[in-house]
Structure 1
Amino acid sequence: MIVKGIELDFFRNYLHMDAKFSPELNVICGENAQGKTNLLEAVAYLSTASSHRARYDKELIQFGVDSAFIKGELLSRDRDFTLEARLSRNARKQLFSNGVRLKTAGELAGVLNTVLFCPEDLYLIREGAVERRRFLDSCICQLRPRYAAALAEYRKLYDQKTRILRDWEEKPSLLETLDDFNLRMAQTGAVLIHYRAHFIRKLREYAPPIHREFSGGREILALRYETVKTVVDPEASPKEIFPQLLDHQESHRQAELDARQCLSGPHKDDLTVELDGMSAKQFASQGQTRTAALSLKLGSREIFFHDTGEWPVLLLDDVLSELDARRQAFVLGHINGGQVFITCCEDEKLEGLGREKVFRIHAGRLV
């Protein structure tokens, strides 16, 4: 998968930009706060129609402007694609593939796959389960359209059920709809658990060997999927998981009413990360945390390749500057094949890059 070029209008700090990229290595350099990360964010947005650092699309639109535009020219599955995202402060975003408007972001699955690593990914290990779920969701949504559709529906159902639980004492009639929401949440939740379990199984195959080599053979990375306790086999079919989710919901019904919160479902799932049998979240140093997070991302890159036959576009945002020389060399040795974007400061010396196309960014402009 190759991003041949990108065009931006009023996206973040870019008034307008039109750039053509190398199919191999692209180095985006410039001082801090000039727009390097914004450019990688725009590329990644075209793969999932979401941002890794913005909760709402309106945050991506330049101040004082009502709309923004992202357009990417791609080569994927031996075909040319033109992806467009039109963002508005006052209306829903519009997505297009080769001029055809998409009904949902899930229809982007398989067109452009990206793996992004940025300084914020330290939170992938150190913070709560929400960060690790976001990592899983971002990966699986790019590979499985059914998962993307189920996730979007589950989130809507979750929001609606949360409102019922919050307001039921003031409006008891709301409880008449609770069983319907529980039924549908169990159906869509079973799909999420099934796909998450299979993705984590593959991640256990690829990430630990990368981490072992990354750490010089000194550490063993282990991954474990934690989901609803009544689910006997998370890799089973959604049809088998569904009644087990219903059982868990029923056993937590009164607790949910009392707490006025959704306490049952895959929205509480976690991917636990251990180093040498100990929780990485609790005990890993900053260097170990960074190594583990990068191993997960490089492991997901391997999954994309083996699943699709094409390397995803790899986006490394200010990563190498945080690594020592040995780890830099390791990362650069594992990005052969596929298109890569690396951001760095003007004065950084990145050794071992080989052939690359260099872009210099200043104040949201290509100079």
Structure 2
Amino acid sequence: MVIPSDELLSHQVVSTFDHVDTSDLQWCERVWFGAFDTTGRFFIGAGLGKYTNRNVIDAYVSVVEGSTQHNVRASRELRPDVDGLTVGPITYRISADYSRVGFRLDENDYGISLDVMAEGVVPVVEQRPQMFRRSRGRVVNHMIRFFQYGRAHGWLNVGGTRYEIDPASWVTQRDRSWGIRRSAAEYLPPPEGVDVGFGLQPPKRARITYYWHSVTMQFDDFALQYEGAESPEGERLGTHHGELWFPAGDNRKRLRVVNVEHEWDLVPHTTTNEVAGGRDLITLEDGSTMELTFRAMTRYSRKTGGYFGFRGWASGAWMGSQWVAGETLDLADPEVQAELKGGVWDYAVECRYGDQVGYGNIEPFIEGIG
């Protein structure tokens, strides 16, 4: 089937854009988008996932104010609208000149709406190396990602009150990924009475204790991104990667991050391994080091956006031709914390490097502890 994307001179296989050149159910294209004000009052998290071989496209938007998190999520059948980036009340937007991207959330039953766009202040940087992993001979991760940081503008409506999003005081982080990726939908149990996996070996999900980190930081004259996983003993697990790069027009050479040592402070007695702040010592490929400190200002649960499953839904799961859900959560409620345990959290952080102050997002994930 020919679709509008086929008018672009971008083909890389002898086929049309309505499908991909693999039948793997885990093939996806995903967007993650975060924006927050530098006082830490608001945090917006949003995402969109296109699962071509599952015939699913889904999206979510979360807004945190204080300890209250508002969520809207939606899913629809992908075809025939393969090129469309609207899912229920949520639309992922790309400007005509590709200089800005963002999300619009139309009025809905869950008390929030917004229109926020991001404009990059640094060029995009490609993840190096690409993510690749096999499990029992099968490729479960083979994907590429790029990152960009910038400033946000637009508006936000919470509970009937409208707030302007001013680029002077709002920062953004985003990433785009595509390829074969272990899907959150794999972590959902089949519905009662339905043997979805009949004749198939269940996925291997070793329950080991490990620590995962993904960090993005932007300062006035440089940006940093690094991520990886470690055992409790500090042993590296899988691929680590990261990079230091500079604003558009700055010709300084980008430098790879080759090692990171963490000293992160957890908030006592929290079942979700809440992070208060910390210190990172970064080693670059030229042998130089950077010591950065940060403090957490606010956070939101990405579990409600489909990571590892939430209330019967996970990213990539078939929910029917059209589906919308949402709720408001009190993150200080012990019952809510128990429900969100084991999920991914994003933190809006204030960062310091010497006398410089910057802002960023950290994503710590600790499996098997707490």
Q: Greater RCO between the two (CA within 8 Å, min separation 6)?
A: 1
Structure with a larger share of its residues in helix: 1
Q: Report the TM-score, using the length of structure 2 for normalisation.
A: 0.26
Structure with max Cα Rg: 1
